[in-house]
Amino acid sequence: MFDKISQVLGLKPDTASKEVSELHLATAALMVSVSKSDENYTDEEREVLIKNLQNHFSLSKDSAVHIADLALEDENDAPSLYQFTRAVSKELDNEERQEIIRLLWQVAFADGHLDNFELNIIAKIGGLLGVSAQDRIRIKHEVEQITPCSQ
């Protein structure tokens, strides 16, 4: 019934938002935070963010784009990173949280430049997720070998 009313009014039913898990949205928001940390949210970073969502969570491109858009809004409105890191921490074990750090490094390296703001926010997020500095650096080097960039 609601779908028919929405069609008459020219509105699309928002079925995609019903399917968005807290984990997907929190992970996307953390990737957005990394990409915006240098105040330069690039197309390359957005592409990697969407591909990461698709690959890591087995999502369609449309779902990943939708989640990325929602995450951008949520990240803009969030007072801190804690709400996102809490959502990730409650769902994932340490090894899985390390994979989230890997996604963050991939976003940071996406534009071919890694700056101190990106380094600092990944360190902060890693700390909130309980991922050790040693593991964060190891993962950074692994990602850097695949996607080198200038610092």
Mean pLDDT of all residues in 3-25: 54
pTM of structure: 0.83
DSSP state of 80: -
Residue with tokens 């890191």: 85
Give pLDDT, residue 39. 80
Mean pLDDT of all residues in 102-122: 93
pLDDT tens-digit map of 56-69: 999 999 999 999 99
Question: Any idea where the domains of the chain sit in the sequence?
Answer: 43-151
Quick one: how far is CA 83 from the chain centroid? 13
Nearest partner of 63 among 44, 50, 72, 46, judged by Cα: 50
